Amino acid sequence: MSQLFEPLQIGTLRLANRIIIAPMCQYSAVEGTPGDWHLVHLGHLALSGAGLLILEATAVLPEARISPGDLGLYDDTNEAGLARVLGAVRAMSPIKIGMQLAHAGRKASSHVPWQGGRQIRPDEPQGWRAVAPSAVPHAPGEDAPLALDAAGLQRIRQGFADAARRAARLGLDGIEIHAAHGYLLHQFLSPIANKRDDAYGGSLENRMRFPLEVFDAVRAAFPADKPVWARISATDWVPGGWDIDGTVALSHALKARGCAAIHVSSGGVSPQQAIKLGPGYQVPYAQRVKADVGLPTIAVGLITEPEQADAIIANGEADAVSMARAILYDPRWPWHAAAKLGAQVVAPPQYWRSQPREFKDLFENAAFGAR
Ligand SMILES: Cc1cc2nc3c(=O)[nH]c(=O)nc-3n(C[C@H](O)[C@H](O)[C@H](O)COP(=O)(O)O)c2cc1C
């Protein structure tokens, strides 16, 4: 019996199976507002049979975007655009949909990846001055960000809370707070980016303070019967950087505040990172968080094979797997996995006739006739 296709409870949210579509920036929004690309992109992912679809990093303020093309949820136009896209997607699929709320911090104001991804300097067209815990650039030679003062921190807490209220109005099933990959909240956690000497820098407790304040703001602004969770980089892959012990401490603190799950990724804060890549390379970090903290834990990173994903769940290494590149490459990955593992998956009735002869019970409730 496949464990990957067992239901999972994340707080009050019940997922039909343990396959999660990881957030993936599309850099295709206009002033934060999604368009037809999102309709097509999310539309096909929504037909995948996965248990949860997490929308791409969604900026809580205009200056929180990584690139000028990032999705945002900071104004009424963004909200209306998302309402249109989500309305269409929901009409086609029962998939649960979460949203990743994000602030890019010092990695803001970048070109989109297919234009090289380098920093857009504040005085260049479409560029802006980034903000960060400290005036330390991400990479040597880049323009330094502005170190956040008390008013700046308040604007960001407020931005997260306001976006969470908009997400609630849009009927999102859950919120993931992006505290990974070297973006703003991770910048606070990591001694590599956080050089502050006030209550938000120095000790582990101080470096965790702002991410926890943001969690509290989002948790208070989003309906209590829907989950809020966090994505964390478990290590910076740089000696002296953020590490797994900090990740466990942060996860405990989040749990005490009502966090529903931890999504365990890694890296992103420093160009000096030396990542040890390989199949499931971040799973041991998820396993440590799950064992020590006991919250539902999501593993991610080079999980590409059905048997591999199933074993991660069966061995108790994580409660769910999330996938990005493999499911972008093959948006029917959960169908193929269910077929391989002898499980069932939800498919739209329009496609039921595609069920291969040898997998007669693959699609849940499938039945069709003709005269
Ligand atoms: C196109 C693309 C966009 C991504 N955008 C995001 C994002 O918005 N937020 C995030 O936390 N991670 C993002 N990631 C990272 C993925 O969520 C995932 O953690 C990473 O790709 C490793 O998983 P994989 O081996 O299954 O691809 C992105 C990855 C890709 C390939």
DSSP for 330-341, written as a single string? -TTHHHHHHHHH
C-alpha–C-alpha distance, residues 72 and 58, integer Å:
5
Q: Measuring CA to CA, which residue among 85, 97, 94, 98 is closest to residue 41?
A: 85
- Residue 332 Cβ inside 6 Å of ligand 1? The answer reads no
Ligand 1 nearest atom to the CA of residue 176, by list position? 11
Q: What is the token pair recorded at 37?
A: 């690309």
Q: What pLDDT does residue 45 have?
A: 98
Tens of pLDDT along 200-243? 999 999 999 999 999 999 999 999 999 999 999 999 999 999 99
Angle between helices 36-46 and 76-92 (to 10 degrees): 30
Is-contact 207 150, C-beta < 8 A? Answer: no
Q: What pLDDT does residue 1 have?
A: 82
C-alpha–C-alpha distance, residues 24 and 221, integer Å:
24
- Residue 67 Cβ inside 6 Å of ligand 1? The answer reads no
C-alpha 196 chain-centroid distance: 27
Residue 64, pLDDT > 90, answer yes
Q: Please give the distance, rounded to the nearest whole angstrom, from the Cα atom of residue 361 to the centre of ligand 1.
A: 32
What average pLDDT does range 69-91 have in this prediction?
A: 98
C-alpha–C-alpha distance, residues 57 and 23, integer Å:
6
Q: Please give the distance, rounded to the nearest whole angstrom, from the Cα atom of residue 265 to the centre of ligand 1.
A: 9
What average pLDDT does range 105-122 have in this prediction?
A: 97
Residue 318, pLDDT > 90, answer yes
- pLDDT class for 333, splitting at 50, 70, 90? very high
Q: Please give the distance, rounded to the nearest whole angstrom, from the Cα atom of residue 22 to the centre of ligand 1.
A: 6
C-alpha–C-alpha distance, residues 267 and 38, integer Å:
27
Residue 60, pLDDT > 90, answer yes
Q: What pLDDT does residue 119 have?
A: 98
C-alpha–C-alpha distance, residues 181 and 236, integer Å:
9
| Tally of helices (H runs) and strands (E runs) in the chain | 10, 13
- Residue 112 Cβ inside 6 Å of ligand 1? The answer reads no
Q: Which residues are catalytic?
A: 183
- Residue 23 Cβ inside 6 Å of ligand 1? The answer reads yes
Q: Please give the distance, rounded to the nearest whole angstrom, from the Cα atom of residue 116 to the centre of ligand 1.
A: 17
Q: Please give the distance, rounded to the nearest whole angstrom, from the Cα atom of residue 6 to the centre of ligand 1.
A: 24
Global pTM value: 0.98
Residue identifier of the C-alpha nearest atom 6 of ligand 1: 24
C-alpha–C-alpha distance, residues 59 and 162, integer Å:
11
C-alpha–C-alpha distance, residues 240 and 243, integer Å:
8
C-alpha–C-alpha distance, residues 75 and 163, integer Å:
9
C-alpha–C-alpha distance, residues 159 and 231, integer Å:
18
C-alpha–C-alpha distance, residues 99 and 64, integer Å:
15
- pLDDT class for 140, splitting at 50, 70, 90? very high
Best residue among 181, 325, 328, 330 to mutate for probing ligand 1, ranked by most atoms within 8 Å of CB: 325
Q: What pLDDT does residue 191 have?
A: 98
Q: What's the length of the chain?
A: 371
- pLDDT class for 368, splitting at 50, 70, 90? confident
Tens of pLDDT along 245-266? 999 999 999 999 999 999 999 9
* CA contacts within 13 A on the Cβ side of 183: 26
| Residue indicated by tokens 């108790």 | 316
First to last CA, the chain: 37
Start-end of H helices in 170-303: 184-189, 204-221, 244-256, 283-293
| Residue indicated by tokens 């942060």 | 250
C-alpha–C-alpha distance, residues 269 and 42, integer Å:
28
Residue 307, pLDDT > 90, answer yes
The residues facing 221 across adjacent strands are none
Residue identifier of the C-alpha nearest atom 3 of ligand 1: 24
Ligand 1 nearest atom to the CA of residue 327, by list position? 26
- Residue 186 Cβ inside 6 Å of ligand 1? The answer reads no
Q: Please give the distance, rounded to the nearest whole angstrom, from the Cα atom of residue 286 to the centre of ligand 1.
A: 16
Task: Give the contacts of 114 (CB within 8 A, at least 6 positions apart).
Answer: 27
Amino acid present at 221: A
Best residue among 24, 27, 265 to mutate for probing ligand 1, ranked by most atoms within 8 Å of CB: 24
Residue identifier of the C-alpha nearest atom 29 of ligand 1: 24
Helix (H) or strand (E) holding 155: helix 150-169
Tens of pLDDT along 33-50? 999 999 999 999 999 999
Residue identifier of the C-alpha nearest atom 13 of ligand 1: 24
Q: Are strands 13-15 and 8-10 parallel, antiparallel or unpaired?
A: antiparallel
Residue 145, pLDDT > 90, answer yes
Residue identifier of the C-alpha nearest atom 23 of ligand 1: 301
Residue identifier of the C-alpha nearest atom 31 of ligand 1: 325
Residue identifier of the C-alpha nearest atom 16 of ligand 1: 324
Is-contact 369 36, C-beta < 8 A? Answer: no
The residues facing 341 across adjacent strands are none
Ligand 1 nearest atom to the CA of residue 180, by list position? 11
Residue 194, pLDDT > 90, answer yes
Q: Is residue 156 packed enough to be buried (19+ CB in 10 Å), middle (13-18) or exposed (0-12)? A: buried
